[in-house]
Structure 1
Amino acid sequence: MEPFLLGVVIVLAGGFAFLNGFHDVSNSVATAVRTRALTPTIAVLLAAVFNLVGALLSTSLALFFTDAGIGLPAGSTGLGILLAALLAACLWGLLTWWRGKPSSSTHALLGGIIGAGGASQLTSGPAMSGAGQTLLLQIVLPLLLSPVLAYALAYAAVFPATWLLRHGSPSAVNRGNRMAQSVLAGAFALGHGLQDGQRTMAVILLALVGAGYASGSDMPVWVQVSAAVLLAGGSLLGGWRITHTLGNRLVHIDPLRGMTAQGVSSAMLFIGAISLHMPLSSTHTMTSAIVGAGANQRFASVQRPHVVRILLIWLGTAPATAVVGGVFFLALTPLL
């Protein structure tokens, strides 16, 4: 039964990577398309290429997550936890995409893992070590701090950007900001690949370790390549529902503020992946940076009802997927 469960987990992890790219490509392209820095086709191609490159650049975050993040039980129980978590995360991703609401795939996956792990303990199964630490460090703190930090940095960054460009003509300033925004769209997609590409790698490696087919210290090349290709493939086919929300329904955004939002969010993704080894949500950072940069204007432009709805979805992501993951695990218990 373990080889079968391992195969199902690997297939679902691939589906999660594809859906992640499909769901989150909007974060990379929304402002660039909204300000006409890039055409939709070029923006999506750029995002797909740099997602691929970013996922191929590093495995350090995935190895850190596998080694220190979550202690899954070995054998079929651990595989069942991953299977239930992936199902919950994929369903949540599809639901939020259909509703056109940006949400964190990272928090959906971690919430599903913790919920399935809790269900395992309810059924007197093996305990999942590290769940409390993971809840605090990987969900609560990033959820509370990264959106606030992205908002504040983007709001503040508008001041020096405006001052530096104060003597330029509007047409020249907009043209320069659109050029910078095109570059930063690629940088953000690269950071997204560095961050979110390694989620799938970590899940597959956890499954391989739990089934006894790999150690947690080395990342198989086929795992890294398949995760990168599927993430890029999902980006190529990404839907525009969330792009419309980010680019048009939250705040009025111009080229300068779009450039500022992408610069701040890109920097945060790189720092989180390379320096802090902390999974940050590309959705949270980009959405908060867009609202922060857009709010720094002389007129009230933030569509507060839409922002409040998105905040509620963010707060509900981990609890909702934890419940769904627990239910799925209980349903799978006879097979484990």
Structure 2
Amino acid sequence: MDLLVVLTILIVIFALAFDFINGFHDTANAIATSVSTRALPPRTAVMMAAGMNFIGAITFTGVAKAITKDIVDPFALSNGAVVILAALIAAIAWNLITWYFGIPSSSSHAIIGAIAGAAIAAAGFNSLNYSGFVKILQALIFSPLIALSMGFLVMSLFKVILKRATLMTTNQRIRRLQVGTAALQAFTHGTNDAQKTMGIITLALIAVGWQTTDDIQMWVRVSAATAMGLGTSIGGYRIIKTVGGKIMKIRPVNGAAADLASASVIFGATLIHLPVSTTHVISSAIMGVGSAQRVKGVKWGVARKIVLTWIITMPSVGLLAAICYLILNLFF
């Protein structure tokens, strides 16, 4: 079999594997609050999230096109197939490591940093599409800050609306609301995160000369959405434990506020075709909600560890991807 065909098949397999891992790694964030407040039992929450992720994934393609052309130029990428394969291997390795230790690290940061690192190893810093890459970095940096503010505002609004309600009545009503907010959260996750895998596969197809436009083919959309949904169905209970309980003690009203705040930020980014980290956005929204409730109620020590992981992910996985590229380049 032609070497190029083998490489392309490997890329598709690893890309779908990344999407599958992303499903049980990142989707845990989307349902963490509803599980921790007992609005939904874990199995029900996971299965609902799997379905909503699939629907969200096949609905939009704007973020996928941004991944295809904004990090590197797919039509000028030197040894593109090996670059993308190296990036996928590095991103998958990083996701598995952080998942094992229960650290809510970002799959988005991992794959974007990995593509950049492998491309630099292959063709130097000039291989990056700086205008697009900077735009993506800005979205990744500012979206958690916006989510933090949104979480604070939504929780403050809830406090005014529910000021005279009894605790028992509030909890019962909000738990019902949380079923809807968790579903919305999972849907928005699919609209943004699954798009990244679609973009990677399309980037590979262009790099090997099998596609001449950045259009996302239907088989790519369906396969990526299916991989994300299957991964979600496996669940991510380690991450649920961290996001749903270690940042702050979450009550139903806190969970609903965090879900609404983060879903609005993620979906807003999807509409303007920008990839964001659902992990960062959801964790930041929870911190914002906690700050509106009581600043000392947020476990800032855990929050600092999460933020530190955010900072080190891109350079670390970029270096790992560069090493992977140099090794793969010996064989391909």
TM-score w.r.t. the length of structure 1 is 0.94
From 220, 224, 234, the equivalent of 1:223 is 220
What pairs with 1:255-334 in structure 2 (closer than 5 Å)?
255-274=252-271, 276-298=272-294, 300-334=296-330
Q: CA deviation at 1:335?
A: 3.1
Among 177, 183, 190, the alignment partner of 1:186 is 183
Of 102-111 and 154-163, the range deviating more from structure 2: 154-163
Q: Which residue of 2 aligns with 1:209?
A: 206
| C-alpha distance after superposition, 1:30-78 (max 9, x if no partner) | 1001111111111001100000000111222212432444213558711
Pick aligned residue for 1:101 from 75, 87, 103 = 103
Partner in structure 1 of residue 38 of structure 2: 36
Contact 2:27 2:232 in 1 (8 A): yes
Q: Any idea what the Cα deviations from partners look like across 1:118-146, whole Å, max 9, x if unmatched? A: 11125xxx95240x33442212x233211
1:218 deviates by: 2.4
Indicate the larger mover: 239-248 or 212-221: 212-221
- Aligned partner of residue 279 in structure 1, secondary structure: coil
Using the alignment, how far apart are the partners of 2:287 and 2:163 within structure 1?
A: 22
In structure 2, how many angstroms separate the alpha carbons of the residues matched to 1:72 and 1:16?
Answer: 20
Whichever residue aligns with residue 104 of structure 2, its letter is P
Moved more, 189-198 or 171-180: 171-180
Deviation at 1:239, TM superposition (A): 2.5
For residues 298 and 225 of structure 1, do their structure 2 counterparts lie closer, same or farther at Cα, with a shift above 3 Å needed? closer
Counterpart AA for 2:17: G
Tell me the alpha carbon deviations over residues 148-197 of structure 1, each in whole angstroms, 9 at most, x when there is no partner.
11111111221211111122222111111111111010101100100011
Q: How does 1:1-336 map to 2 (within 5 A)?
A: 1-72=3-74, 77-121=79-123, 128-130=127-129, 132-139=130-137, 141-274=138-271, 276-298=272-294, 300-336=296-332
Q: Unaligned regions of 5+ residues in structure 1, if any?
A: none
Matched residue type, 1:13:
A
Deviation at 1:19, TM superposition (A): 0.4
CA distance in 1, matches of 2:67, 2:311: 22
Aligned equivalents of 2:319 and 2:264: distance in 1? 33
**Contact 2:81/2:207 (CA < 8 Å) preserved in 1?**
yes
3-state SS of 1:167 partner: coil
- CA positional deviation for 1:112: 0.6
Give the share of equivalent positions with the same residue, in percent: 35
217-226 or 178-187, larger mean C-alpha shift: 217-226
Q: Scaled by the length of structure 2, what TM-score is found?
A: 0.95
**Alpha-carbon separation, structure 2, partners of 1:115 and 1:181:** 39
The structure-2 alpha-carbon separation of the partners of 1:4 and 1:148, relative to structure 1 and needing over 3 Å to count, comes to same
How many residues of Structure 1 are paired with residues of Structure 2 in the alignment?
330
After TM superposition, give the deviation of residue 328 of structure 1 in Å: 0.6
What amino acid sits opposite 1:201 in the alignment?
A: M
**Cα separation, 2, equivalents of 1:134 and 1:83:** 21
Alpha-carbon distance in 1 for matches of 2:80, 2:93: 20
CA drift of 1:319 comes to 0.3
The separation in 2 between residues aligned to 1:67 and 1:142, in whole angstroms, is 16
1:298 Cα shift?
Answer: 4.0
Q: Is the 8 A contact 2:120 2:128 kept in 1?
A: no
